[in-house]
Amino acid sequence: MTKEFRILSATAILGYGFPIASFEAGLARNPDLIAADAGSTDPGPYYLGAGISFTDRQAVKRDLNLMIQAGLRRKIPVVVGTAGGSGAEPHLAWCFEIIKEIAAEEKLSFKIALIHAEFEKSVILDALGNGKIRPLDRAPELTRERVDSAAHIVGQMGAEPFIRAFDENPDVILAGRSYDPSVFAALPIKLGFNRALALHMGKILECAAICASPGSGSDCMFGTLTNEWFELEALNPARICTTVSVAAHTLYEKTNPYILPGPGGHLDLRDCRFSDQGGGRIRVSGSKFVPADPYTIKLEGARPVGFRTVSIAGTRDPIMIREIDRTIAAVRENVAEIYKNQSWDYRLNFIVYGKDGVMGPLEPHPGTESAHELGIVIEAVAETQALADTVCATARSTMLHYGYPGRIATAGNLAFPFSPSDFHAGKVYEFSVYHLLETEDPAAYFKIETFDLS
């Protein structure tokens, strides 16, 4: 086994881009792997449900082109996880088409392995019937209706499917929905490196230069792994890794700062140590991996729940600002009265920026005492686009002319920055499957295909 394993993380999410100079600086350090995560659930359930990417096609193609050509020249593998942003079948196919275009246009020949992550509903229902599925915290119990109504259901694969794909000696691995660290950790784990350190380093590398100061998701990061520690190094002279920046990113996206759950177990980070090695290199040690029994895979599914129409408005009338809560309540009551005898249902939501638009009911400083203007987003969701339009228009016109207590002028309460004032936002999705699946074989559910592109 080699004593060190070196990884070039190109960008935080494929399509976010990276400076050529940073990428070349990483290549000059002779990496053993070039990798990038390509997705996230952060943009919400729409992209999984709709089967489209939240990243731009040309931007993804640019990043892939540079990564694949560099990997082929240097005979080192290129790995991409959560293809297309969400990692379901349409996302994987979309990203594969881009790679085939690159191969044709650049006259490249290479072997690619695809790892599929979308689940057949019958497989989910069989596991549900056998008691092999349980909800994550705060998720409801999974039902047949939730499974049947889902547009797509994916499983978040761990390192094992990647390890199995590496047995085929591919030049490129393109995977569906993936546990982000697996993209970086699988090959060193296969080669015998410490699993905990590989996963911990992968957790940080998946966000690339976000762990540097100043952080950026559109820049490269370099990692060096041994069996005792790993080191991180920024590749752009405008950034530097510090013990604080790396430790802070270790706390990223966790309900418990010391525990990082994932497929097959969790990382215990209570004994981690962060030390500055000079030259912007930060060394991390002490990570531990605690296996879980049984092994579980996180399932993610999204189902359509209607159509959305949105209207954006603003006000700077201090009287309306003072009365905004009562005004919104009155508008809700008016809309409910108008449509109370209809056979269809709707959802009406008001987001008030300048008051509690970001935090909502969790806002620690509620009230509008210091606000001189408010931005108001009116959102209506109903079973058809036309009905969503109807509800949004009624709420918008009611609020525009509502006579709140103390109102002086009658010419209108709101200012609309756009004409038309109402926007069709299309289908609305919600996460309907957010559960854990027990399995004896961590790679069994993830089909692997290989192709020779030339």
Helix, strand, coil proportions of the chain in percent (round to 5)? 30, 30, 40
Per this entry, what is the length of the chain?
Answer: 454
Backbone phi, psi, residue 211, to 5°: -80, 0
Q: Is residue 192 part of a domain?
A: yes
Per the domain annotation, does 263 fall within a domain?
yes
Pairing of strands 273-276, 281-285: antiparallel
Binning pLDDT at 50, 70 and 90, where does residue 2 land? low
One domain, residues 296 and 323: no
CB burial of 158-187 (b: ≥16 within 10 Å; e: otherwise) equals bbbbbbbbbeeebbbbbbbbbbbbbbbbbb
- Gap between the Cα atoms of 377 and 338, Å rounded: 21
Report the largest interatomic distance among the alpha carbons of the chain, rounded to a whole angstrom: 79
| Number of neighbouring beta carbons within 10 Å of residue 222 | 25
Q: Which DSSP helix (H) or strand (E) runs through 113?
A: strand 110-115
pLDDT tens digits along 19-65: 999 999 999 999 999 999 999 999 999 999 999 999 999 999 999 99
pLDDT of residue 1 exceeding 50: no
Residue 428 lies in a domain: no
- Kindly state whether residues 194 and 223 are assigned to the same domain: yes
Asked if residue 342 and residue 277 are part of one domain, the reply reads no
- 427 occurs within a structural domain: no
**Is-contact 162 183, C-beta < 8 A?**
yes
For range 442-449, the mean pLDDT: 97
Please report where in the chains the tokens 């030259």 appear, as a residue: 279
321 and 293: one domain? no
Q: Is residue 203 part of a domain?
A: yes
Q: Does residue 290 share a domain with residue 173?
A: yes
Instruction: Specify the pLDDT at position 170.
Output: 98
Q: Does one domain contain both 280 and 399? A: no
Q: What percent of the chain has pLDDT over 90?
A: 91
Statement to judge: residues 343 and 278 lie in one domain: no
Q: How far apart (Å, rounded) are the C-alpha atoms in residues 437 and 299?
A: 7
- Report residue 86's pLDDT band, with 50, 70 and 90 as the boundaries: very high
Both tokens of 271, joined, read 């004994």
- Exposed/middle/buried for residue 413 (C-beta within 10 Å: 0-12, 13-18, 19+): buried
pLDDT digits (tens, 9 = 90+) for 288-337: 999 999 999 999 999 999 999 999 999 999 999 999 999 999 999 999 99
pLDDT for residue 107: 98
Q: What is the pLDDT of residues 357-402, one digit of tens each?
A: 999 888 888 888 788 999 999 999 999 999 999 999 999 999 999 9
Residue 420, in any domain of the structure: no
Residue 352 and residue 441 in one domain: no
Total structural domains within the chain: 2
What is the average pLDDT value for the chain, to the nearest integer?
Answer: 96
If asked whether residues 245 and 386 sit together in one domain, one would say no
> Residue 123 domain-assigned?
yes
Q: Are residues 446 and 382 in the same domain?
A: no
CA atoms within 13 A on the CB side of 400: 13
Q: CA quadruple 7, 8, 12, 13: dihedral positive or negative?
A: negative
Same domain (yes/no): 148, 295 = yes
* Per-residue pLDDT tens over the stretch 149-195: 999 999 999 999 999 999 999 999 999 999 999 999 999 999 999 99
And the tokens for 253? 């996206």
Same-domain check for residues 66 and 173: yes
For residue range 219-246, list pLDDT tens digits in order: 999 999 999 999 999 999 999 999 999 9
In which domain, by residue range, is 10 found? 5-300+433-453
- Going by C-alpha positions, the residue among 453, 445, 450, 449 that lies closest to residue 177 is 445
In a domain, 308, yes or no: no
| DSSP 8-class letter at 280 | T
